[in-house]
Structure 1
């Protein structure tokens, strides 16, 4: 195993960011290469815990000569975000300097332009240089896992339709309850990787990518950072590595993926019609029917008829829920995965800012 650091100069004097990178050299040129990162949203730490335990397994596999494919791991992909706290609370999702989501605005390039990502670094802010380094590393692999988590959520993933159903082995290995099939129309990290693969050369656009995978894995919620969960998830990723021929080990029998796989157009984004305290009536993992009471908003507490009931627009599975208990007008409350498309118009790209 090789451990190195990528040094990123800050945007003000005296500031330098260090990005630790763990690499295992594979013994087989035919085996797939994988890149895994966590905590791009710096306050989402289940993936960091997972990679801590996965690295233990991989060091042992390395000592045993069992690493077949190249493995690159970045356990904390955003040192800039890790340093950004506001009134004592780690932010991590948005760059306080630019107000940009750390998982947006990745360069959408063709694969042949990969090396251009690191040219003329002085033209870019520290956050943009970080993004360009992460994308450059990922584009040297065949498989890419970007580990995130939701606010309160089930184990699920965003997977470009180009990779489905081939990615069902990952969904099964991590015991996912849902897969949200994305349309590849955003500048988020995993979609920027897929964009480069689809556009290997200028003017090219592939619709199938055999042997490739770029996925955002949502490891439950922000508070689900426990050693037993991290070890379980690390074992799941290890089984995936074995199944894909990256690590040589006996293949454990996996149950087929049994969760829901639905396009983003089938996701009901439940939002608050007015501001107020939130009383949830349904939890993540609940299967709901059309008309079921999901939440009550105390828009005018204490006043007659001061409450607003929010009901399920159609049958589905509650995949996520916000952890806050106060909503602003039009705040997101839940995601529900449904069998039918939502009647709410959705722009192409991500579900949330």
Structure 2
């Protein structure tokens, strides 16, 4: 394993950021190249834990000469966000200077213009230099995984329709309970990679065999345990074996033969359940539950102690509860749940991400 450190100068005197990068060099020139990063939202740490255990397996594979394709790993992709603490809590999702989500505003460039990301580099802010650095590294690979997590959540992923259903092997390897088929219309990291991959020959392609860009949501923010991290690392290792990045280990675990059986639905089928009034949340259903139209999802206690002081939140359509908020007090309009529905939930959703 080769370790390098990228230094990014800060935007004020005397400040700089260090970005460790781990690399495993493959032995087969035409084997798929892989890029994996975690904690782009710095307070989302299940992916960092996964990488810790994955690298242990990769070092063993490297010692055995079994790493066929180059693997680049960034375990903590956002040192800027990791340093942002407000009243004792890390603020790793939004850049406090610009109020922009760290996983938005990545440059959209065709693959042929990859090196242009580093043009006039010193004139960019530290956050933009970080984003361009990460994207430049990712576009040197064929398989790109951005490891995130949700609030309270099942295991799921955002995958562009251009990579589906080929990417069902990833969903199966990581025991995902759902896949959200994204439309490729945002500036998130995974979709910026997909934008380049779909335009590798100039014209936009509807399907890109052999390539993959995915955002993997590794359950919830508090799901950081050695058992789940090891299980996820083993699943990702098996995925790399199946894709020809790592040679099949003798006597080692192999990718399960069964196909992905969970729902794979477009973003138009995701029901965003929001609080219609502020109040205390009493959930009646949990993540992973399959629900029917009319089922009671939550009660909002809006006026504690009053006979008319609560509101019921019911399901508009049948589906799978994929996420819910960990907050137990919400403001009007706050997200309560994401439900993967069998049918389209609305016709007026703007292309792009589901939330900020």
Query: How would you bin the TM-score normalised by the shorter chain?
Result: over 0.9
Confirm or deny: 8 A CA contact 2:270 2:345 kept in the other structure: yes
Residues in 2 aligned to 1:336 and 1:107: alpha-carbon distance in whole angstroms:
30
Q: Which moved further from structure 2: 149-158 or 118-127?
A: 118-127
State the Cα distance separating 1:122 from its structure 2 match: 2.3
Alignment RMSD (CA, Å): 1.0
The answer on 1:141 being equivalent to 2:141 is yes
Please give the TM-score of this superposition, normalised by the length of structure 1: 0.98
Residues in 2 aligned to 1:307 and 1:240: alpha-carbon distance in whole angstroms:
47
Residues in 1 aligned to 2:20 and 2:132: alpha-carbon distance in whole angstroms:
15
The answer on 1:123 being equivalent to 2:123 is yes
Match of 1:183 in 2: 183
Confirm or deny: 8 A CA contact 1:149 1:218 kept in the other structure: yes
Residues in 1 aligned to 2:236 and 2:344: alpha-carbon distance in whole angstroms:
31
Match of 1:210 in 2: 209
State the Cα distance separating 1:344 from its structure 2 match: 6.2
Confirm or deny: 8 A CA contact 2:160 2:181 kept in the other structure: yes
Residues in 2 aligned to 1:245 and 1:308: alpha-carbon distance in whole angstroms:
53
Q: Which moved further from structure 2: 342-351 or 178-187?
A: 342-351
1:236-277, Cα deviation, whole Å (9 max, x unpaired): 000000000000024443321111111100010000001111
Confirm or deny: 8 A CA contact 1:159 1:181 kept in the other structure: yes
Residues in 2 aligned to 1:281 and 1:103: alpha-carbon distance in whole angstroms:
32
Confirm or deny: 8 A CA contact 1:267 1:337 kept in the other structure: yes
Residues in 2 aligned to 1:102 and 1:320: alpha-carbon distance in whole angstroms:
21
Residues in 1 aligned to 2:85 and 2:257: alpha-carbon distance in whole angstroms:
41
Confirm or deny: 8 A CA contact 1:173 1:254 kept in the other structure: no
State the Cα distance separating 1:343 from its structure 2 match: 3.0
Confirm or deny: 8 A CA contact 1:36 1:74 kept in the other structure: yes
Confirm or deny: 8 A CA contact 1:322 1:332 kept in the other structure: yes
Residues in 1 aligned to 2:112 and 2:201: alpha-carbon distance in whole angstroms:
6
Residues in 2 aligned to 1:121 and 1:27: alpha-carbon distance in whole angstroms:
32
3-state SS in 1 of match to 2:106: coil
Residues in 2 aligned to 1:109 and 1:7: alpha-carbon distance in whole angstroms:
24
- Structure 1 spans left out of the alignment, 5+ residues: none
1:77-104, Cα deviation, whole Å (9 max, x unpaired): 0000000011000110000111000000
Residues in 2 aligned to 1:284 and 1:243: alpha-carbon distance in whole angstroms:
30
Match of 2:50 in 1: 50
Match of 2:199 in 1: 199
1:321-352, Cα deviation, whole Å (9 max, x unpaired): 00010111110000000110003631100001
- Structure 2 spans left out of the alignment, 5+ residues: none
Confirm or deny: 8 A CA contact 1:172 1:254 kept in the other structure: no
Match of 1:285 in 2: 288
Please give the TM-score of this superposition, normalised by the length of structure 2: 0.97
1:46-67, Cα deviation, whole Å (9 max, x unpaired): 0000000000000110000000
Residues in 2 aligned to 1:103 and 1:159: alpha-carbon distance in whole angstroms:
15
3-state SS in 2 of match to 1:144: strand
Runs of 4+ in 1 over 6 A off after TM superposition: none
Residues in 2 aligned to 1:169 and 1:285: alpha-carbon distance in whole angstroms:
21
Match of 1:240 in 2: 239
Residues in 1 aligned to 2:221 and 2:66: alpha-carbon distance in whole angstroms:
33
Match of 1:325 in 2: 328
Q: Specify which of 311, 314, 319 is matched with residue 314 of structure 2.
A: 311
Confirm or deny: 8 A CA contact 1:266 1:340 kept in the other structure: yes
State the Cα distance separating 1:200 from its structure 2 match: 2.4
Confirm or deny: 8 A CA contact 2:152 2:219 kept in the other structure: yes
Match of 1:295 in 2: 298
Confirm or deny: 8 A CA contact 1:156 1:218 kept in the other structure: yes
